[in-house]
Chains A and B, each alone.
Chain A
Amino acid sequence: MIAAIRSSTLLGARGYPVTVEVHVGRGLPAFTMLGLPDEACREARDRVRAAVLSSGLAWPDAKVTVNLAPPRHRKTGSGLDLAIAVGVLVATEQVPTESVADLAFVGELGLDGAVRDIPGVAPMVGVLPTEDWVVPPGGVTEATVAASGRIRTAATLRELVEALAGRAGWRSPNPLPPLEPAAGAVPDLADVRGQPLARLALEVAAAGGHHLLLVGSPGAGKTMLARRLPGLLPDLDAAVALEATMVHSAAGMALPAGGLVVRAPFRAPHHTSSAGSLVGGGSHHLRPGEASLAHGGVLFLDEMGQFAPAVLDSLREALETGQVTVGRVNHHVTMPARFQLVGATNPCPCGEGGAPGSCECDERSRQRYLGRLSGPLLDRFDLRVAVSRPEVDDLVDGEPGEPSVVVAARVARTRSRSIERSGMLNAYLEGADLDRWAPLDPGAAALLRHEMEAGRLTGRGYHRLRRTARTLADLAAHDGVDPPATIAEEHVAVALSMRTVLRRSSMVGVR
């Protein structure tokens, strides 16, 4: 008496199909599991047995062998419980074989026979998208998003057996509670008073996809600004939304009511985070890290200089390729991680704001503080903007700034224009594309040449600056008017002011 049930297991942000083979045969009563189950998975033995018995079903008085095929992959977590239980019931003829022929199962069992929710239903179901799936009640919405087949659910093992045997209908998924209380609304840009430069920088970052570094003293509003960036970004496109949903599901994060992550996510890991928590990892199923959770959205690193250098360096792969690969001895996992990086740092250790002549820090301790941000990482930021504490007048009786909706409309227009023009956002323009799509007019070229000759601008900075200037020129063009083909001096000047000098080459500023 043998049964084969389809299911899947989770590794990183992907599902892998698993066939649960159950053999019930003669021998001393025992329950053996083969096929590289991990600890949580091995415990399925006891959960499944208890669940079967407490559901009023019979446990075979025989030797039960479960093989999780293919055996070379490690199986993780408790999502195979349901498939194992169904396999045992089919092999002992308590459930008809035909009834499970076109079905696949994921879900955890409680000792009382309840079918429990598990993280990662979307990627697990998504690996066999055309099957009909039975998932726990809480996973129905995300399963619907991830697969095209019919999605079934049951609250208990007993209920499932009744439905499979045709004695009762399938539970309707309608009365499910919403998966998540509506995510806290993204804060509005109108709350930011004053700070014209930082506001503009945020808009440019959103419109061009540029990474943004905010430099300013504590209380200058760096975090406040960063939190408003997702509100300026357009909805994710379908492919990215699905990838983001898989990642969020795999990490066990609450999903929005529709099941699909549509709005740009915002992730702000603390500076004590480990490299593993940022890029993903862990000994079991390689949980996606913050970089992947920020896929399609914003990764905000506050107090960037306080992160361990190795942790920051671990982000470089993601910044270069838009994905992270986590390797272990016998397998490695690739997860999407194309995010917009927003960093924030104080200009110096004392937090006085780094105003020349007024803070306690000498030049060396300031350099050491900023030196914690490695050159290659610092280089990723097209925008490095100084944020100062807002003027008291602005805080107390300043006008509210432009609201996010207005800015977001300009951002959306600019983004679609640049994608129409060059097939990519301005931040991704490189080499020949940059020359083709962002030529400088003579005044702009002269200004940049002067800055480079004065040693205030490096060759790499020159390219970054042209990208930013391209976005500024695009943003400045009115509705219905095509942005100018060449970049004017004023856009280069503004771009220059958004690339703060962080290192002084010589202490004696004698001209």
Chain B
Amino acid sequence: MRVPDVDDRIAAATLAGLGSLSRARLRAVLDHHRPVEALERLAVGAPLDRSVGLSVEVHGRLVAQARAADPLDVGLRLRGCGITVLLRDSPDYPSALAADAEAPAVLFARGRASALGGRRVAVVGTRNATAAGRATATELGRDLATAGVTVVSGLALGIDAAAHHGAVSAGTAAGGTVAVVGNGLDEPYPRRNAALFEALCADHLVLSEWPPDTPPEAFRFPLRNRIIAALAEVLIVVESRERGGSLITARAALDRGIDVMAVPGSPRTRAAAGTNLLLRDGAAPVTCAQDVLDVLSIVTPPGNPIASRPSPVDDPVAAAVLERCREGPATLDALVASSGAGITAVVTTVAGLLTAGHLSEHAGWLEATGSRLRPDLSGSRRS
């Protein structure tokens, strides 16, 4: 069978959608064949190059799947969703990724593909983050983007979303942000980040190695993490427990010789257990965006863009409460115990701090909302 009017990109997208073609097999196939040729061979049941190493059984299944697939439909679906296909040997494929040993053979993209032209820093962390962790990620994302760096992350809830939000808030003239996701680009996942997804598709870039209509299954996310690591020049872990996806990303970065940095947290809070482990094992600490820019050897013009929040330290109870909350989430009972003040005084103070936005509350836990970064540092270090 001839496949008319199908170019290599659509053929590659069709191949990427075949159920039995794992990402490794897809790479092997496209290393030896042009996409159109591979698809035509499968559609007529012809054998592929011996060094692709497909078993007879897998080949048989692929032939059946290729016959069932309709490349024209695939092309229409891609165009309908505004998705571009990037092939590894095409000039628009991210150059940082092209050299990687596990680079995806096919990438799907929405947004401005040029977003990956500049310096790139990945900012990752747990979904279940503290308020302080999210504020830290937002601030890092904003400051790095303001300095012209492109922020790479994974569009998950928590740290990822906060980092994207920060980079988006720096404006479209800044470094921008790139999200790498584990599902097809037709639907945002998680749904809660739908608005963010749309914003990234409009002015930034969203990447996936999966064709449209691929559901967000759990196994795809660790795979996605390697792409985040490979795209970055420096990887920052903002917050992570002692086990988690962000540590998988950190491992992937270390395997590639990419610098891993971590935001230190209180040893008392489990939210920082993973990042503190990384620091212990030799990762460089991030205390402000300038720490990262130094690693990248980026010199920024003087002037501190960060408006630090005035700290309400004149009241001793408030100071004690804030100090305790900066160590990690605390309950009211713990605050009463650590401040030594009466419950009414503590509660009144907490109400004031909540009102002023210094604290946030969830299910009885009070968290300091300020970022963990040192607000005054980027100015003073430059002198």
Residues on A lying within 8 angstroms of B by beta carbon are 194-198, 200, 215-216, 347-348, 354-363, 366, 385-388, 390-391, 393-394, 447, 450-451, 454, 456, 489-490, 492-494, 496-497, 500-502, 504, 506-511
Contacts and interface: CB of A to CB of B under 8 A. Distances in A.
B365 A386 contact: yes
Q: How large is the interface on B (under 10, 10 to 19, 20 to 34, 35 or more residues)?
A: 35 or more
B369 A509 contact: yes
A386 B365 CA distance: 8
Given A447-B351, A509-B131, A357 B239 contact: yes
Chain B binding surface, main DSSP class:
helix
Interface string B362-381: 11110101000000000000
B130 A356 contact: yes
Nearest to B358: A511
Contacts, number: 144
A447 B272 CA distance: 34
A494 B126 contact: no
B347 A494 contact: yes
Contacts of A447: 351, 355
Contact of A356 (B131, B138, B157, B334): B131
Interface string B136-168: 001000000000000000000110011001000
Interface stretch (B212-220, B255-263, B325-333): B325-333
Nearest to B272: A357
A510 B344 contact: no
A356 B365 contact: yes
Contacts of B161: 507-508
Contacts of B352: 493
A23 B158 CA distance: 83
30 contacts: A194-B333, A194-B337, A196-B333, A196-B336, A197-B336, A197-B343, A198-B333, A216-B364, A347-B363, A355-B329, A356-B131, A356-B365, A356-B367, A357-B126, A357-B241, A357-B328, A358-B241, A362-B157, A363-B127, A363-B128, A386-B364, A387-B364, A388-B334, A388-B364, A447-B355, A493-B347, A496-B351, A501-B362, A507-B158, A510-B165
A500 B192 contact: no
B59 to A, nearest CB: 40
B267 to A, nearest CB: 12
A386 B350 CA distance: 15
Chain A binding surface, main DSSP class:
loop
A393 B338 CA distance: 12
A356 B135 contact: no
Contacts of B329: 355-358
Nearest to B273: A358
Nearest to A388: B331
A390 B332 CA distance: 11
A386 B363 contact: yes
B270 A357 contact: yes
Nearest to A492: B351
Contacts of A357: 126, 128-130, 133, 239, 241, 269-272, 328-329
A358 B332 contact: no
A493 B351 contact: yes
B355 A451 contact: yes
A84 to B, nearest CB: 61
A23 B362 CA distance: 73
Given A391-B337, A490-B347, A508-B134, 17 more contacts: A215-B363, A348-B363, A356-B130, A357-B270, A447-B355, A490-B344, A493-B348, A494-B343, A494-B344, A494-B348, A497-B347, A497-B351, A507-B161, A508-B162, A508-B165, A509-B131, A510-B165
B361 interface: yes
A222 to B, nearest CB: 12
A218 to B, nearest CB: 15
B332 A386 contact: yes
B334 A391 contact: yes
B253 to A, nearest CB: 22
Contacts of A393: 337
A196 B364 contact: no
Contacts of B271: 356-358
Nearest to B162: A508
Nearest to A498: B347
A215 B328 CA distance: 20
A194 B269 CA distance: 22
A442 to B, nearest CB: 15
A359 B130 CA distance: 11
A354 B157 contact: no
Contacts of A200: 343
Interface in B240-291: 241, 269-272
